Structure 1
Amino acid sequence: MRSTSDPIEIAFSAHFQDGNLARLRPIRVRVAGKDAEGALIVIDPANGRELAQWPTADVFTVPSRRDTIRIGREGAPAGARIIVEDPSAVAVVRAALPGLGRKRNADKRRQMGLIGLSSAALVAFVAAYLVGVPLLAGRVVSVISPAWETQVGETVAEQVAEIFEAQGGFEICDPDPDSPGNRALSSFADRVLQGVESPFDVRIAVVRSEVANAIALPGGRIYYFSALLDETRTPEEFAGVLAHEIGHVVHRHSMEQLVASAGTGLLVGFVLGDVTGLSVAGALGVMLVDSNFSRRHELEADRFARLAAERMQFDVSGLADLLDRVTGEDAFAEALALLSTHPLTEDRRAALAARTPVPPRVPALTSAQWQAITEMCGGPVPAGAD
């Protein structure tokens, strides 16, 4: 029987994000050395090349689904992750690296110790919150860590699914991250975010739903609903909407809106580290049903989309074309959630049209990428692919 002092030498399959690009890449991970003194060695399975080496003393777990382990590293870029989803590999990691759990528990103990020191500040902050947090939401968000916002986003995503399931269903059309459609979405997000400082991993999913909408959740999740995809005729229209939603993620608009509309429950959750209970549930309903992004939010997201389009040389006016066309269909527009959160005003259209001279336009997506995306929910391929 191996003693606890013997070095560990195991390997398993996982996915890797380096923190600079949003895309996932398949990897092999070799765990070498003893728990507190070893390292996670990230290897490209295609050529055996070492991509990274993470000392086990520096790694920690990131909140994730119960059947998944997401590992981060102190000192690495904020979005750097090793993601373990295979059940057998998850069991191996838990057995081989018990220090992951100890580190998480130590962090929780430190957090609980801060509660006593934060009590007086909490009273004053709650008072300020009741008076004017909607006016101060941007500043509040600036002190919320991206890691905590990502936790909030995961909880919000679960509640979005529950809300839409109660209204007729919620289904991710293509859950395979390595499918052609999802690779096209990931590639587009990487290009939009090139040179942009953002701590979030943008994760785009196409969702089967009769609600024509596209939404950005706190922490980087974006949903493009199939009813809107059915109305989207060209890659440029699709790219314009996605770039706009990525702009909401980069500027943290969803978190700001959630702070502004949630009441004191979210603030208490922030101090106590609770993002799974009632502190978020009430705010989510308000955000989805009654609350619109502000004029400033929409103009900021439009500007982000326009600048991304100029850099990538595609025509962002497709976003305005899509909204104009859909608003002209009276029966459809009555149920169009996108229009309540994305009103197309004349100044927004002017902002989208205001561009500096650029070289000749290029397609926002290749024809193969566009076809793969439009087929994610099993629907027909719209016209307009180049």
Structure 2
Amino acid sequence: MTASALTRPGERDRLIVKFTEIDWTFCLALCAIAGAGALIMFSAAELSWTPWAAPHLIRFAIFFVMMIVLAMCPPQWWFHAAYPVYVVALVLLIGVEVAGDVSKGAQRWLEIGPLRFQPSEIMKVGVVLALARFYHGMSADSARMSWWLLVPAALIAFPTLLVAHQPDLGTSLLILFTGVAIMMLAGLAWQFIAAGVAAVAVIAPTMYFFVLHDYQRKRVDVLFNPEADPSGSGYHILQSKIALGAGGLLGKGFGLGSQSQLNFLPEKHTDFIFAALAEEFGFLGCFSILFLYGAVIFMALRIAVISHSHFGRLAAAGVTATFALYVLINGAMVMGLAPVVGVPMPLLSYGGTVMLTVMIGFGLVQSVRVHRYSEVTSGRGALL
């Protein structure tokens, strides 16, 4: 379809044209992942739709419609909303520091009237939008190496430190890695990348001893020797590995996973739902889900590539990087290759706030596809 067919008024109904430009294969993959998550939750709850499977599907249906609505919004709207969204998210993070709700030893939640949510999830979208807008009008030379790079570094550092202080190491790493990925995609010089890797290698031991909390250090220690504390800090990893190994090639069968059914597997509907999937559906089930995740990531990156605006390319790529990091970190955590940091498997795991931000991000990705021929300007021009 040509650019004129998408942008010239009067030829066809504009909303219908936009609706047909949505990537429905992408949407089908998202539905398949969310459906698989509901199936595992149904099994983990002893073949009951409550308390997890039904709310999971209802939320996904609502957020799916929201994603379609957001796909109708031109990237120019997202461009103008970028800095306000970032500022609001940053203010909310500061609000968590001042008056956040403490749960399980961490101060991550904020209650405003009947709403209870994690501002750090909003920041995942906010930092992507802010960085994409900042780099949109920047020259390639400035993006590669200049003093202006202190601005995106600050945009990443402030929320990363605030979230890490909650403490929420997993989410802070997601924000940090997503921000760095966008800087690299924008053309950051390899000298900065090499210097950053060297700095992390030098600073990591210091952070281990003087920055991490005691329970976080235990999680790192347990990663290398979970058998040292099998009923304590090593319990999660050991039970997860047992579930993964018990599944074999084809799994024990739907509703027959002993680790999840007998409640040996902790957080079986959230952080460790992938292990519950592995026990009941085996290697074949795990491969199928990972294939769907890979397809979603590939299609989202393809959308980023075909965008005509630099803002659209970076925004779509940033959302995709966040999603990919979710999958990578959770998968590594469940397999005992990374510390347990409380990062869920997106759309597969139970959780409203994470699903909301993921679907908002994919609404942005679909918007970039629908309006891929549109240019984004810094002025106040027409937003339609």
TM-score, scaled to structure 1: 0.28
From the two aligned structures, give the one with the greater strand fraction: 1
Higher helix proportion (structure 1 or 2): 2
Q: TM-score, normalised by structure 2?
A: 0.28
